[in-house]
Chain A
């Protein structure tokens, strides 16, 4: 199997059918102990200081880890991807593109996926076969999600980790499915761990994953990871075709569509407050205005940049925010002092 890098969620069913092993470059970047080195590689190449760390990280990973084929999402994700792909092509890396069309019509989505299949020389029937095969994995991710918000046995971070991993199934569907099984078994046997505050994490996956543990210090937990959950396609069983599945995906399309799903989950999961994470220099920070306007629930907006841990100021903001939300819940939190 040939490796192929992806910059975000794309129809991996197509890639797997084409006998490729998809690798989510974001995950490689952020889980590396020397993630800073990847950023360095990009900055030395001339990527501006004022560009997003994810973009630079992906670039560094491609160069350092000998990725020689990559798919970038040109529409619906990051506007910087186009330039990233161009620079990568200079390095002799084979590039492909995929789009989640702005129009968000089923017809256009179908068109895009058909183009994608053609590019990788696969037929719809073999893609469908993989889609059906992946249903098992998607179902297990859903189970983990339920163990998080219904049974309180899975932490926000674990939830984040497993949901996000569905973007590439860690490069190997069989062993990933086994890992999910093992985890579910282990989690089911745990005691419930209920915290007073139920939080939603919305926005791009964080550079600063310590956020999850930090929040749990304060009698709070994330019971919803918006985008990570979308990566796992939780409504896969309502789709009859691969086209419908990728049509029913909130994040790359317009915000109103995303909001409808958000609202549904906020009420279903009894969310008290939201932490909205965006990346420095990303257009998604502007979306914060829209989301805050449309959602009637306290939202704390935090921004990450190049460091993978929370800075002191952000910690203080989170602490004070949670403290006040706890007040409204009638909980006396002794852990928060001056």
Chain B
């Protein structure tokens, strides 16, 4: 059976096609591009599947940001939290874990026990600990997000709790002649520090990380201090879409 999962993120749309528990196709694009070039609005939102290069599928499941955006016609919309938990279950085969999803604009933390979500925390109001923050800081430093993500040793302290004020603080540090390595480590450390109070309620052994920030080695390095095991998903950015497929195969 072929199942198509679409995760309509606030900034990127992720599409995964699975056949019998195996991913056979995956792609992502900006949300803007998706709505502009692959969707038609005709009372309900229709996706031009063929244009996406997908030939056939039996079931379509969607999830994503904002209640109304997820209602693609012919797709069954599922709760975003659930999609991520299912994605992580598929990718790790674990039944007990804490899932930290850091996307471009929001953070979700979910506790999974006996395969079921039992606790969660959402942060949708502040960008200071999301991917967007790292992008902004990388652009101030005129390096790529990829490069920024490598550093964790000797971080300089950035005190500001706000994403906007952090930028000027960072510029101040540049002016003081601090090395790029320490600046980058400082940026990663500040993100970690903002995550920490959210994570204190979610202590546990295994921390699974999804979302774009899962690629950030610096942040992972810091998180290692707090958990016995950090599990980086193979496809952290596609986790929600994979979860949709998992749901489609198992339950829909």
Q: Which of A297, A320, A327, A332 contacts B81 (CB 8 A)?
A: A320
Interface hits, B114-151 → A, CB 8 Å: 114-122
A298 adjacent to B114 (CB under 8 Å): yes
Which of B64, B77, B79, B250 is packed against the most chain A CB atoms within 10 Å? B79
Q: How far is the CB of A186 from chain B (nearest CB, A)?
A: 36
B80 adjacent to A299 (CB under 8 Å): no
Q: Which residues of A contact B118 (CB under 8 A)?
A: 298-301, 317, 321
Q: How far is the CB of B138 from chain A (nearest CB, A)?
A: 30
Contact of A87 with B by CB under 8 A: no
Q: How many interface residues does B have (CB within 8 Å)? A: 26
Question: How far does the alpha carbon of A193 sit from the alpha carbon of B114 in the complex, in Å?
Answer: 29
Known: A330-B251, A338-B70. A320 touches B114 (CB 8 A): no
Question: How far does the alpha carbon of A337 sit from the alpha carbon of B119 in the complex, in Å?
Answer: 17
Contact of B85 with A by CB under 8 A: yes
B77 adjacent to A320 (CB under 8 Å): no
Q: Which residues of A contact B251 (CB under 8 A)?
A: 327-328, 330, 332
A327 adjacent to B247 (CB under 8 Å): yes
Q: Which residues of A contact B80 (CB under 8 A)?
A: 338
A324 adjacent to B114 (CB under 8 Å): no
Contact of A336 with B by CB under 8 A: yes
Q: Which residues of A contact B66 (CB under 8 A)?
A: 338
Q: Which residue of B lies closest to A332 (CB)?
A: B252
Q: How far is the CB of B65 from chain A (nearest CB, A)?
A: 8
Q: How far is the CB of B68 from chain A (nearest CB, A)?
A: 9
Interface size class of A (residues with CB under 8 A): 20 to 34
B79 adjacent to A323 (CB under 8 Å): yes
Question: How far does the alpha carbon of A274 sit from the alpha carbon of B27 in the complex, in Å?
Answer: 39
Known: A337-B77, A338-B77, A338-B80. A324 touches B252 (CB 8 A): no
A338 adjacent to B79 (CB under 8 Å): yes
Contact of B169 with A by CB under 8 A: no
Q: Which residue of A lies closest to B118 (CB)?
A: A300
Q: Which residues of B contact A300 (CB under 8 A)?
A: 116, 118
Interface string of A299-338 (1 = CB under 8 A from B): 1110000000000010011001101110110101000111
Q: Which residue of A lies closest to B250 (CB)?
A: A327
Known: A337-B67, A338-B70. A298 touches B113 (CB 8 A): yes
Contact of A292 with B by CB under 8 A: yes
Interface string of B93-128 (1 = CB under 8 A from A): 000000000000000000001111111111000000
Q: Which of A296, A321, A323, A338 contacts B67 (CB 8 A)?
A: A338
Question: How far does the alpha carbon of A317 sit from the alpha carbon of B121 in the complex, in Å?
Answer: 9
Q: Which residues of B contact A337 (CB under 8 A)?
A: 67, 70, 77, 79
Q: Which residue of A lies closest to B110 (CB)?
A: A320
Q: Which residue of A lies closest to B68 (CB)?
A: A338
Question: How far does the alpha carbon of A324 sit from the alpha carbon of B118 in the complex, in Å?
Answer: 10
Q: How far is the CB of A317 from chain B (nearest CB, A)?
A: 6
Q: Which residues of A contact B70 (CB under 8 A)?
A: 337-338
Q: How far is the CB of B131 from chain A (nearest CB, A)?
A: 20
A323 adjacent to B114 (CB under 8 Å): no
Q: Which residues of A contact B82 (CB under 8 A)?
A: 320, 323-324, 327
Q: Which residue of A lies closest to B71 (CB)?
A: A337
Q: Which residues of A contact B116 (CB under 8 A)?
A: 273, 298, 300, 321, 324-325, 328
Q: Which residues of B contact A299 (CB under 8 A)?
A: 113-114, 118
Q: Which residues of A contact B64 (CB under 8 A)?
A: 338
B120 adjacent to A320 (CB under 8 Å): yes
Q: How far is the CB of B88 from chain A (nearest CB, A)?
A: 13
Q: How far is the CB of B207 from chain A (nearest CB, A)?
A: 19
Question: How far does the alpha carbon of A297 sit from the alpha carbon of B118 in the complex, in Å?
Answer: 12
Q: How far is the CB of A278 from chain B (nearest CB, A)?
A: 14
Q: Which of A297, A317, A336 contacts B119 (CB 8 A)?
A: A317
If A298-B113, A316-B122, A337-B70 are given as contacts, then 10 extra A-B residue pairs at C-beta distance below 8 Å, sorted by A number, are A299-B113, A301-B118, A317-B118, A323-B79, A324-B116, A324-B117, A327-B251, A328-B116, A338-B77, A338-B80
What would 24 A/B residue contacts be, using CB atoms closer than 8 Å?
A297-B114, A298-B116, A301-B119, A316-B120, A316-B122, A317-B119, A320-B82, A320-B117, A320-B120, A321-B116, A321-B117, A321-B118, A323-B82, A324-B116, A325-B116, A327-B251, A332-B76, A332-B251, A337-B79, A338-B64, A338-B66, A338-B67, A338-B70, A338-B77
In the A-B complex, list the 6 residue pairs whose CB atoms are closest, starting with the nearest. A298-B116, A327-B251, A338-B67, A324-B116, A298-B114, A320-B81
